[in-house]
Structure 1
Amino acid sequence: MSGAVQWLRSLFFVGQMYFAMFFLAIFYTPIMLVDRRGATWGVHCYCRYVRWSARWMVGLKTEVRGEVPQREVLVASKHQSFLDIILLCSVLPRPKFIMKKELMWAPILGQYALRMGCVPVDRGKRAQAVQKMVSDVASGAQRPGQLVIYPQGTRVAPGAAMPYKVGSAVLYRELGQTCVPAATNVGVFWPRKGILRKPGVGVIEFLPPIPPGLVPQAFMARLEEVVEARSDALMLEAGYDAPAARAAGAAR
């Protein structure tokens, strides 16, 4: 298949994906207003639709590997593109995210996020946001579920190097919960920016849990080691040599 044809197929896929988001958001809004679980039902439906449509529209298959967490845990995931969010939300029973506070004001989507239990974080005031969330969990104000955090704080392109931030260790320590690391290779096929979606198999993999009780330094070292190593392996499986790309970037 030529690059031009794949790009056109990708353009159609992206357009219909956002149309489906709008349609399903409107459809599930009355349900969400009556029962907050409706927000999660709508997100599950949408994410599963995107996975299905990507398979036949652009040849992008998706897999979720490892044991999907069912109870209340902290999920610390590699973040490469919108697709890893879709994969997480398609299988986690009650996903909720640490999100930028600005997203609260997005029409409809902001309300969905809040009804799901996502935690808005004011840029530059993460410490206060974490303390409030910990307090809400302790008081029962926070809805139970799987809290997803991206340890690097943003989307990271395949082959790029970015440090892990201390926020993951703070949450791990303060919440006293098991942490389930997650690795991915989706950025190889679905970039952070742009239209082109490449055929292949995008994977997100839940890794062995890290039990509570480690000191922050040990936790961060273990989290980064397992997530980066497994993500590199998944990208190599997809035909992309991430360590070589990082070495080449460092040499420039």
Structure 2
Amino acid sequence: MNVIRSALFALIFYGWTVIAVLLSFPISLFGTGAIRGWAHAWCRFHRVLARGLLGISSQVEGAPPEGVALVAVKHQSMFETMEMVLLLDTPAVVLKRELADVPLWGWVVRRYGVIPVDRSGGAAALRRMMRAAEAAVAEGRPILIFPEGARAPVGTAPPLQPGFAGLYRALGLAIAPVAVNSGRLWPARRFVKRPGVVTFRFGETIAPGLKRGEVETAVRAAINALEPEALSAA
């Protein structure tokens, strides 16, 4: 049954996503607010479909930050990338440049206002990332980042990407860490999902101005709070 549900989910969600991307072009004529509202509607559709078809819902522990912050989230599946957009106030999402360069789709996400990261682009790429991040902060938007980079399988606690500490230091923002356990139901790089409840645990705010080693240790512990065995073994 989970195989059938997962197949139906993929067919409906990705089929609608193609239509949503095409519709975003005329919608964008009404301004940035319209395209952001349309993106949020797409995320809400994902939430409803995941709950109604896959039986996957979410619960939130703690409180999302108010105003501008660097929101660092554990990354185990696509599920949290969609849910976090709804839990925050129009976040600027840090994502791989390759995703922002996908034809049509890339144009839409850039209009929404993301922060593309080119990990092989050197100093010039870093400056472009910082300009995009500073523009988001000037708008009063939180910055959503998955500091581990790629999706991490359940039971693992990989090191944080080196650019995370640099972004933290340059922006001077407090960090709101978020632990997630979506991988139990929505395993990385696997097609079949199973029903259940995903927990989003907002940890204590981490103050700006810490040294790299201190902030990485604090963030890594907080985002892996639902993976204690992995953290102790790392």
TM more than 0.5: yes
Please report the RMSD computed on the Cα atoms of aligned residues, expressed in angstroms.
Answer: 2.5
1:96/1:118 contact within 8 Å kept? yes
Does 2:43 match 1:47? yes
Post-superposition Cα deviations, 1:91-141, rounded to whole Å, max 9, x if no partner, equal: 211122222222233233211211122122223236543333334555789
Q: Which of the numbers 222, 226, 232 marks the counterpart of 1:231?
A: 226
Distance 2:36 2:189 in 1: 26
Give the drift of 1:6. Answer: 1.4
Structure 2 unmatched runs, 5+: none
Which residue matches 1:69? 65
Q: Would you say 1:100 and 2:103 are equivalent positions? A: no
Q: Which of structures 1 and 2 has the bigger CA Rg? A: 1
Match of 1:177 among 173, 176, 187: 173
- 178-187 vs 90-99, greater mean Cα deviation: 90-99
The amino acid across from 1:14 in the alignment is A
Aligned to 2:151: 155
Moved more, 16-25 or 171-180: 16-25
Amino acid at match of 2:149: G
For 2:115, the aligned partner's letter is V
Is 1:191 the counterpart of 2:184 in the alignment?
A: no
Moved over 6 A (4+): 139-142
1:168 to 142, 149, 164: 164
CA apart distance, 1:171:
0.7
Amino acid at match of 2:177: P
Counterparts in 2 of 1:160 and 1:56: CA distance versus 1, 3 Å: same
Change (3 A) 1:218 1:148: same
Residue aligning to 1:237: none
Is residue 131 from structure 1 mapped to residue 127 from structure 2 by the alignment? yes
For the 8 Å contact 1:156–1:162, the answer to whether it is kept is yes
Number of matched pairs: 234
| DSSP-derived class of the 1:42 partner | helix
Change (3 A) 1:143 1:33: farther
| Equivalent pair of 2:115/2:132 in contact (CA under 8 Å) | no
Read off the aligned partner of 1:28 and give its amino acid letter.
Answer: S
2:222 alignment partner, SS class: helix
Unaligned runs of 5+ in 1: 234-241
TM-fit CA distance, 1:54: 1.4
- The worse-fitting range, judged by mean Cα deviation, of 204-213 and 23-32 is 23-32
The answer to whether residue 87 in structure 2 is matched with residue 91 in structure 1 is yes
Change (3 A) 1:51 1:148: same
Q: Which amino acid aligns with 1:12?
A: L
- Aligned-residue offset at 1:45: 0.9
Match of 1:117 in 2: 113
Equivalent residues of 2:65, 2:176 under 8 A apart:
yes
Rounded Cα–Cα distance in structure 1 between residues aligned with 2:151 and 2:133: 27
Could you tell me the TM-score, scaled by structure 1's length? Answer: 0.83
